[in-house]
Amino acid sequence: MTAFPDVLQPGRHEPLGATARDGGVNFAVFSAHATRVELCLYDEAGTTELKRVALQGPVDGLWTGFAPGLRPGQVYGLRAHGPHAPREGHRFNPSKLLLDPYAREIVGEFRCLPEDHGYPLGHPDGPLALDERDNGPTALKARVAAPLAGASPRANAPRHAPADVVLYEVHVKGFSMRHPEIPEALRGSYAGLAHPAAIAHFKRLGVTTLSLLPVQHAVDEPHLFGTGLRNYWGYNTLGFFAPDPRLASGAVRHDPAAVAAEFRAMVHALHEAGLEVVLDVVYNHTPEGNEWGPTLSLRGLDQKSYYRLDPEDPSRLQNVTACGNTVNVEHPRVTQLVLDSLRFWVGEMGVDGFRFDLAPVLGRTSAGHDPASPFYTALRQDPLLAQVHLIAEPWDAAPGGYQLGRFPGRFMEWNDKFRDAARGFWLGHGPEGTTIGRGEFARRFSASSDVFDPATPTNGGGRRSPLASINFLAVHDGYTLSDLVSYAGKHNEANGEDNRDGRDGELCGNFGVEGPTDDPVIRQARERARRAMLATLLLSQGTPMLYSGDEFGNGQGGNNNAYCQDNEIGWLDWPSADASLIAFTAELARLRKAHGLLRRASWFAAGDDAGNGGDRVSLRWFHPEGHEMRAEDWNDADGHALSALLSEAGGEGAATRSESLLLMANPGGQPRSFGLPAPIPGTATASWTLLLDSTGESSPGARVGDTLLVPARGLVLCRAGG
């Protein structure tokens, strides 16, 4: 039996958290305003406190101690003493056991009990009151982790060229829960996502990079308890260094060390298959919510440092996330927490990048979002994180929160302007009944140069690549591709909020009937619109991102906010998968990979001499009648069909090569005749060869002359010559 010390030896100030070393364990925690921080040691089950001992400090806000003889596997929590002065922003309460923010293994189950709150529920003073009940026996606790065994999965990580990247947003559990080729014992788990059947699907699709919905340890929101629902998506992170055990296979789910091992094995297997792994991470808020929420970790350690407070009433928290609180990433130690977490997932767990949820929060200062904020500056200078993908969801829920195009350096950004243009163009209407004209479609097709290559850069970093635009049609938050062509309004009744939740006004259209139908005319219109949108996504400039299941027609019954649906609504419906749509999507990805003109890393310009050995690369837009687009054509509110001519020709001193691609888009309900231009500016008209007809009416390989009848709701791609 371990002999617990009465007094800790002086500890190291780094790394933060609990670190096994030199025959013991070093503890280090940050709290700038605490007057005393105690380490509480528990039995293996985490229910009985065995010893309580003070950490030493503070030195520069750090509390430390070294416990000789302690070993990995030791369960512990923290208690922080200090002022209970809510009106000044302080909510110290040593009656509440706190989870170490750096915990790599978490034991217990969060049940949101009354004693988890720092104030008595129902008290007339609300969160200004003090609850002195001890929640130690039931609180979540950390467990000292042993050093991870074996080499990091980074050792075999692929490095795809930016122009080759095709993203695939996927939920670890939802992907495999109904997959017939994945063993039942592995379904819904990290191991299931790395199963050969899953990898075969990813490889067939031609995706290079999986963007996983949150996998860090998350808990349910209080309003879900007792409803039979749970936070399925996982955007409620409490453990920034621990993989979520709910996504592990049943055999290891209750052993945090085994969960981490399964996660690492997943990354290794995906890397072996040439697939990158990007994590969706939530550093903008925590499950502690607003001032009425529970006290679990950061609030009790030092609320005034870790969270942004209302400057006019520090007893209240700023809520630019619409999730109750906002993490104060501007604070140097909070910046460190986020960076340490990112480095852990790259260096120890092997991942290849991050998608930052509500990313403007990370760059918020007292003056608003700042591309030169301390966090961005530190992130761009980090040698380990310089190796991985950085992706921003470029908006939060506050005024001034929409920051598309304003992120620094090599960030890529989710481009909702592409989403709305692609949907509106093929559905026949834009947001709030507006129309999506040729100009808007052309801008988004060509990677939104008005956003990512503006005349006056607003990101503090100058020009950016077209690949900074992450183009998408659908993501987890909203309709699936199948649903957005099948419903005219959201159907979120199963969420238990009387259909009030989820985004109102999301672009969609049912083509005449709400939901499933046997009407062949409506079914054909929906199918054509869906395929044309997929073709637009994979053939546009920028970086494409597929939402898992869209490649085979997965639907959610019109639910556009399935965050709490850990069931057949949220899981992919493999039994109903459309094999022909999978093949079509795979062919689009193959075409993109085969033709460099479809995935350029530099901007097109008319007659642009790109400086690449004298090559001339251009993108020109044509009216269906065959002439180049004129001002009156762009401004024609009733005209929508158009074609794009992408050309590359070797110049003097350059390698002999040339290629021309012609993309023709007819979003109308009737076929449209297109005049075909010369393949390279200044050359004579030549024949074209059909590469793709999204409607399937024409077969690849067919020769095309001066004109072509493009089917209704069809997108056609041709290549010059035979």
Active site residues: 357, 393
Name the one residue in this structure whose structure tokens are 């938050």. Answer: 477
CA–CA separation, 589 and 309 (whole Å): 47
Q: Which two tokens stand for residue 693?
A: 């007809």
Q: Which two tokens stand for residue 595?
A: 């033709």
CA–CA separation, 471 and 413 (whole Å): 9
CA–CA separation, 203 and 190 (whole Å): 18
SS3 content of the chain, % helix, strand, coil (to 5): 25, 25, 50
Residue type, 22: D
CB neighbour list of residue 340: distance below 8 Å, 6 or more residues apart: 15, 16, 102
Phi and psi angles of residue 376, each rounded to the nearest 5 degrees, phi first:
-60, -40
Residue type, 417: K
Among positive and negative, which fits the CA dihedral 527, 529, 530, 532? positive
Neighbouring CB atoms inside 10 A of 371's CB total: 18
Q: Which two tokens stand for residue 44?
A: 């293996």
Q: Which two tokens stand for residue 467?
A: 């690949």
Burial of 469 (0-12, 13-18, 19+ CB in 10 A): buried
3-class DSSP string for 233-280: CCCCEEEEEEECHHHCCCCCCCCHHHHHHHHHHHHHHHHHCCCEEEEE
Q: What is the DSSP letter of 467?
A: G
CB neighbour list of residue 49: distance below 8 Å, 6 or more residues apart: 40, 41, 42, 136, 137
Q: Are 282 and 361 in contact (CB under 8 A)?
A: no
CA–CA separation, 604 and 540 (whole Å): 12
Neighbouring CB atoms inside 10 A of 672's CB total: 18
What would you report as the CA-atom Rg of the chain, rounded to the nearest whole angstrom? 27
CA angle, residues 536, 540, 544, in degrees to nearest 5: 90
Cis bond leading into 196, ω under 30°?
no
Phi and psi angles of residue 562, each rounded to the nearest 5 degrees, phi first:
-85, 35
CA–CA separation, 486 and 483 (whole Å): 5
Q: Are 131 and 120 in contact (CB under 8 A)?
A: yes
Residue type, 236: N
Distance of CA 621 to the CA centre of its chain: 33
CA–CA separation, 61 and 630 (whole Å): 64
DSSP code per residue over 186-238: GTTSHHHHTSHHHHHHHHHHT--EEEEPP-EEE---GGGTTTT---SS---EE
Name the one residue in this structure whose structure tokens are 């158009």. Answer: 642
3-state secondary structure of 564: helix
